[in-house]
Amino acid sequence: MYNPLLRKLSRAIDLTAEDEKLLNDVIGVQRGVEARQDIIQEGDRPEEVHLIVQGFACRYKLLPNGERQIVAILIPGDFCDLHVAILGEMDHGIATLSRCKVVHIPRKTIDELTRNHPRITHALWWATLVDEAILREWITNLGRKPADRHIASLMCEMYLRLKSIGLVSDHTFELPMTQQEVADAVGISIVHANRMLAELRDRGLVTFQGRRVRITDIDELVAFAGFNKNYLHLRRRNNPENGQRIVHDQGREQGS
C-alpha cells in the first residue's frame, strides 16, 4: 500500500516494522473533499486530526479586505492540524486546491502514538520542524525575492517535495493552482502572477500542460530561482542513534 505519511516520516528516523504497521493502520477511512473547499477554518477546535493522503491543499489566512495569503502548500502525507492537539485552536484555515482524500484520525490515536512510540513522536516532531523551516524560506522569499525568482523557487520546492513522495515523473508534476492561488501564495497581484508565469515559460524554464508543470532543466531553474534546498531537509542527518551507519574515512564522515 502506498502510504505517503510513512514515506515522509521514514526520512526522519529509522522506523521499526512495528512503527510502520502503526502508521499504516492510521490510514483508515478516507473521505473525499472537492476542490476549493475548506477542510478546516480559522477558529475551529477540531476533535480529529486531518491527514492528506491524496491531492493538494493549502494553509491560508484571510485579511479584513477579503484578500488571502496562502502560507503553505500541503501534499499527500502532510497533516493539516497535528499541532492543534497542543495549541487547541486553529489560527489559520486549510482549504483544498484540488480534489483531496483526507483521513480523519481521532485525537486519542495520536495521543496513544505519541505516548507509547518515541520513534514516531520523533518523526512527527521532525515533520513539524521541517514545516517551520519551509515557513522561514517563505518569509525570506516574500520579503526579498523578486516575483519571477519567487515563483521559480516555489516550483523548485514543489518539485522536490513531490519527488520525495514519488509524485514526479519525467520532471513533470501536478500543481493544481489557479493564477489567483499562485498570486496568493507569492503575495502579488494576479496580473503580476500571470506575467511571471508567462515569463518562466518564455525563458524555457518550465512548460505548462493544464495543471501539470514540466521543468525543462531543474539545475537551470534552481540557479534562476536562487534556490537552496537545504531547508527541505531531504537528507537524513547522520546520527548513530538513527541506526544509520557512518563510514569513516581517515576521520571524515561519509554521508549517504
**Under the rule (CB under 8 A), what is the footprint of another protein?**
146-148, 179, 188-192, 194-195, 198-199
Tell the smallest beta-carbon distance from residue 66 to another protein (Å).
Answer: 12
Q: Closer CB to another protein, residue 15 or residue 213? A: 213
Q: Closer CB to another protein, residue 137 or residue 148? A: 148
Tell the smallest beta-carbon distance from residue 194 to another protein (Å).
Answer: 6
SS3 of residue 207 by DSSP: strand
d(CA 84, CA 217): 39
| Cα dihedral 27, 32, 33, 34 in deg (nearest 10) | 150
Q: Closer CB to another protein, residue 122 or residue 195? A: 195
Are the C-beta atoms of 77 and 165 separated by less than 8 Å? Answer: yes
Tell the smallest beta-carbon distance from residue 154 to another protein (Å).
Answer: 15
Are the C-beta atoms of 38 and 69 separated by less than 8 Å? Answer: no
Which grid cell sits at 133? 523551516
Tell the smallest beta-carbon distance from residue 35 to another protein (Å).
Answer: 18
Tell the smallest beta-carbon distance from residue 195 to another protein (Å).
Answer: 6
d(CA 127, CA 132): 9
Are the C-beta atoms of 97 and 181 separated by less than 8 Å? Answer: yes
Which grid cell sits at 75? 501534499
Q: Closer CB to another protein, residue 130 or residue 147? A: 147
Tell the smallest beta-carbon distance from residue 193 to another protein (Å).
Answer: 9
Q: Closer CB to another protein, residue 16 or residue 189? A: 189
Tell the smallest beta-carbon distance from residue 191 to another protein (Å).
Answer: 4
SS3 of residue 194 by DSSP: helix
Residue 200 has a CB neighbour count (10 Å cut-off) of 23
Q: Closer CB to another protein, residue 65 or residue 256? A: 65
SS3 of residue 37 by DSSP: coil
**Helix%, strand%, coil% for the chain, nearest 5:** 45, 20, 35
Cα distances (angstroms) measured from residue 249 to each of 119, 241, 244, 255: 29, 20, 16, 11
Q: Closer CB to another protein, residue 44 or residue 199? A: 199
